[in-house]
Structure 1
């Protein structure tokens, strides 16, 4: 019996030592490099990979008021649409800001006479977290969903249509 006890003890000790040695000799796990992160400070968007987001110039110069107004327009015009539909509305506004055919700020574009039917009632549509997420997403993207010359949208096709997203037709 003492031999079995010693053998059992030796076996357990050998097994434990083998486990410790096996654990110590395991290869170091490889580090997975995360996707490039985007740092948003104020409205400045910096991509660590060196790729500049498409709407970066607007993101850098937009005031808090501009961001708020953009959020209001997105909610008023497309609050009942998908995330993609809301992004497309934001892109229409930003495409206009970038174009020499329209004013140079979000506020001026939104309040330009006869352009956005909801401009006079934006105070009724304060942005929610969803609209701020839409804005952040648009400011981070390298390639927008809409071409830069898509300046209009409506619930009916009234110009040359680029694409229909949800209930809106996005037009040149």
Structure 2
């Protein structure tokens, strides 16, 4: 890999990281919570719980009348990510009538596809997209490719030594995932769970 390629990837990684630091939440039709795994007990993972808590806070502020929980079943876990989200939101006082769900997706790209179906069914046009900060650039891109107007809102903006190590790892993962998306799009490959 040439030095120029490395520098360009580094700049792109910084852009992805910094993009997710700004909360762009605005009044919308729905708040979409992107799944982030469940524990073997069926409870949301720590990252998923942060996203759910952030979505509940946005709902309580009146940003949108609905919250859409996304995510299918992960390996060897009893509940889908969406089910864990629904249960947690209800435990936080969000009424069942305000919660929508899709249980089929296994990737961010599938989140966008399946969320679009739910939004069309309920005549919803705009969404606040909730995820971790490092994930928002790619997630927003995938939702916009589907024609969904989204306002990204990070569930986690923090600092610290451990945070920086995780942030570097996750931002690198986003570089790889973005590269994979563009590569498979050029080849005309279908939506995947990778």
Which bracket does the TM-score occupy, shorter chain normalised? Answer: under 0.3
TM-score (norm 1): 0.24
Larger radius of gyration: 1
TM-score (norm 2): 0.22
